[in-house]
Each structure stands twice: as structure tokens, then as C-alpha cells.
Amino acid sequence: MGQTARPRVFSGIQPTSGVTLGNYIGAIKNWVDFQGQKDNLFCLVDLHAITIKQDPAELRARTRELMAMLLACGLDPARSIVFLQSHVRAHTEAAWLLNCVTPIGWLQKMTQFKDKSVKQESVLTGLLTYPVLMAADILIYKANEVPVGEDQKQHVELTRNIAERFNGLFGELFVIPEPVIPKLGARIMGLDDPSTKMSKSSAHKPGHAIFLSDSADTILRAFKRAVTDSGGEIRFSDDPLKAGVNNLLTIYATITGKDRVNVEADFIGARGYGDLKLRVAETVIEALRPIRERYEALIKEPANLDANMRRGAEAAAAISEPIVRQMKEMMGLTPAQPSLSV
Ligand code: AMP
Ligand code: TRP
């Protein structure tokens, strides 16, 4: 009693391919830091994954692997609700309801839709309405904060617009959520091309992304080959020509928790970019080693992972189902009466 309510946090990650260093620095690391301070929900968004064609057996395997990896990174089911989106039907139900208050023009303007749809032979309807499902994810928990990387900011802003529109049409129900974007590391770039975001898409070559499950050897090789520039100055910079070095320093800073000044100080006297790459690689390898070890142990116990997912889903449904019921009533849908027998 007398406690002030803790802000509620909601975020999600897709169970496609592995988890990249970009996912870790831009999102997961911050989720872990939120634990203990906030009321957290973290969702494996398998319904978002199927907006792009997936192999069913692969998707199922990747989902369990992602659960293991999130726990290995430090998400703790005792302090956060960690669950699978498709286990809680309130998400799909709310998404439909919100589809019916979202103008199609808002969706056609989304950068991610435009980027992804040009890469597809056949663009699925789900890819267009993807941000509506994401809005549903966030709104049915009345989340205050949504910690994501830079690429998801536009979707959270759309979520705010959808919430305001619903509240305006039917009455105050939804909390207007805030995107929480890290100051450093919100957009980790590809090591092979520092002008593109590090992404888990299989369209990229080896050496583009670091995956949290990569061996020390693979990580070292990728960093050694990282694209830099023809200069020699080791400092943070907005200059697109220095994007490679800036990216390496950003990775080093976020992993060590050091600020820019201390990071640059660490490299005074370094022997060129070769030295920089080696030290960043070593820092990443050491940080990921315990995560990989925990992952190896967790993935061997699928029953434990499944039980954690089920418990998470029960806790999530207990929060979101009453809110979806309220949405339906406010929109004029008729609730089923307690007894249908005459
Ligand atoms: P996704 O893998 O697309 O489901 O993304 C999960 C989370 O990781 C989201 O919050 C993204 O914004 C974040 N994220 C993905 N790639 C990067 C990146 N290269 N740099 C920083 N954050 C990222
Ligand atoms: N679209 C997000 C991504 O690809 C994942 C996501 C789905 C999400 N639902 C969410 C993130 C709700 C934050 C809140 O990264």
C-alpha cells in the first residue's frame, strides 16, 4: 500500500534467424537493465514474423531458441513477463479491432513497409497491417514505455496516433506510450557496410552481423574484416566517411558502459585501426561468452523453456484480456450473456 505504480514497459522481438549484436545493444541489454525498476513485459512476436514467408518447422525451432537466448541474456521470468505473442489471443483480437480505426494511408506511409515490400515478390496484407498488431501489443497492456532501437520509433509513434484516435472516438481507454530509444547504440551498423543497419536478414553475407551464438573465432574474423576508412583517427564522428570507426566505438562504449570521452581515451596510443578492431572484438567476445554458455545449457532443457513461456502467457493474458473486453464494449460489440441456454 502507498506504493506508486511502477511504469509498465512493453517490448517485442521477432523469432527470425538469431539474435544480433544490434538487437542486444539496441534493445535486449536495456530490457535487462529495466528489471527491478519497472513492470516489464517482453514478447516473442511470432505473429509479426509470419508477415514474411516462414518455414513452419524453422519458425518453431527459432522461437524456442529465442526464448533460451533472452533468458541467457538476463531476462528473468521472476521479474519480467516473458511470453509468446501467439499464446495470448488478445493480441490478434485487438489487432482486428484497431484495424477498424486505422486509416490505410497511415500504414502505406510506414518506412519499414515500403522497405520490406519492395523486397517481396508478393506483398502480404499482414505486412501492411503489421504496425497495427504492434499497436495492439503495446496498448492492451496500457504500457507507458516502449524500449526499442531507432528503426521502431515510427511504429511507436503510429501506436500513439492509433491510441489517440481510439480514445477520441470511443472514450479514454488507452495510455499514450513513449518510445524509449537509447542515446548510444540505437542503430548498430553492419560491419561489412557501415552505411546499412546491422540486420539478421539472411540476404546479408557472413561478416555483416554478429550473432550472440557466434563462436569467438567467427566474431574475431568479422571484426578483423570490418570496413573502416583510409584515415587513422580513432574518435566518434557523424561524418558518413567515418561511420565504420564510429560504429566500432559505439559497440565498445555500450558493451563496456563507458562514455565517449573515456572510450576515446582508451584508444590514445593505439596502433591504428587494426588495434581498434582487435580490442573491440575481444571486448565483445568476453561479454558474449557467459551468454553463450548459459544459452547452451538452457537450450538443452526445452521443457523448462516451454513451461516458462506458458507461465508468461498466463500472466500476460490476465492483464490484456479484460482490456480487450472493454475495447469491444466501447466499440458497441455485444458481450455474450453469462448463460446462452434458454
Ligand atoms: P527485430 O529483430 O526486428 O525484432 O528487432 C528487435 C529489437 O532490436 C527492436 O527494438 C529493434 O529496434 C532492435 N534492433 C534491431 N536491429 C538493430 C540495430 N542494428 N541496432 C540497434 N537496434 C536494433
Ligand atoms: N516490430 C518490432 C521489431 O521488429 C517488434 C515488435 C512487435 C515490438 N511488437 C512490439 C516492439 C511491441 C515493441 C513493442 O523490432
pLDDT at 1: 43
Q: pLDDT tens digits for 64-93?
A: 999 999 999 999 999 999 999 999 999 999
The closest residue, in CA terms, to atom 15 on ligand 2 is 13
In whole angstroms, give the CA distance from residue 326 to residue 124.
Answer: 30
Q: Based on the fold, state whether residues 30 and 121 are members of the same structural domain.
A: yes
Q: Based on the fold, state whether residues 168 and 253 are members of the same structural domain.
A: no
CATH of the domain at 16: 3.40.50.620
Q: Based on the fold, state whether residues 309 and 288 are members of the same structural domain.
A: no
Span from the CA of 14 to the centroid of ligand 2 (angstroms): 7
Within a domain: 307: yes
Q: Based on the fold, state whether residues 256 and 325 are members of the same structural domain.
A: no
Which of 46, 85, 148 to mutate for ligand 2's pocket (most ligand atoms within 8 Å of CB)?
Answer: 148
Within a domain: 338: no
Atom of ligand 1 nearest to the CA of 13: 4
- What is the rounded average pLDDT of the residues 199-227? 92
pLDDT at 256: 97
Span from the CA of 308 to the centroid of ligand 2 (angstroms): 21
In whole angstroms, give the CA distance from residue 80 to residue 101.
Answer: 31
Within a domain: 335: no
Within a domain: 337: no
- Please say if the pLDDT value at position 3 is more than 70: no
Q: Based on the fold, state whether residues 252 and 120 are members of the same structural domain.
A: no
pTM of the model: 0.95
Within a domain: 262: yes
Q: pLDDT tens digits for 93-149?
A: 999 999 999 999 999 999 999 999 998 888 999 999 999 999 999 999 999 999 999
The catalytic position among 116, 142, 153, 258 is: 116
Q: Which amino acid is at 197?
A: K
**Domain extent for 139:** 8-182+303-330
Q: Based on the fold, state whether residues 98 and 230 are members of the same structural domain.
A: no
**Top-confidence residue, 206 or 261:** 261
Q: pLDDT tens digits for 168-197?
A: 999 999 999 999 999 999 999 999 999 999
Selection from 240, 232, 214, 213 nearest residue 277 by Cα:
232
- Please say if the pLDDT value at position 2 is more than 50: no
Span from the CA of 31 to the centroid of ligand 1 (angstroms): 12
Q: Based on the fold, state whether residues 19 and 156 are members of the same structural domain.
A: yes
In whole angstroms, give the CA distance from residue 155 to residue 333.
Answer: 27
Task: Compute the mean pLDDT over every residue in the chain, rounded to the nearest whole number.
Answer: 95
Within a domain: 131: yes
Query: Is there a catalytic annotation at residue 153?
Result: no
Which of 50, 115, 151 to mutate for ligand 1's pocket (most ligand atoms within 8 Å of CB)?
Answer: 151
Q: Based on the fold, state whether residues 68 and 170 are members of the same structural domain.
A: yes
The closest residue, in CA terms, to atom 17 on ligand 1 is 22
The verdict on the CB of residue 51 being under 6 Å from ligand 2 is no
Q: Based on the fold, state whether residues 166 and 150 are members of the same structural domain.
A: yes
Cα–Cα distance list, 45 to 10, 85, 179, 207, 225 (Å): 12, 5, 18, 26, 33
CATH of the domain at 210: 1.10.240.10
Span from the CA of 25 to the centroid of ligand 1 (angstroms): 8
Within a domain: 266: yes
Report the domain count for the chain.
2
Q: Based on the fold, state whether residues 73 and 176 are members of the same structural domain.
A: yes
Cα–Cα distance list, 259 to 33, 103, 182, 183, 237 (Å): 17, 43, 13, 11, 14
Q: Based on the fold, state whether residues 174 and 321 are members of the same structural domain.
A: yes
Please report which confidence band the pLDDT of residue 275 belongs to, taking 50, 70 and 90 as the band edges: very high
pLDDT at 127: 96
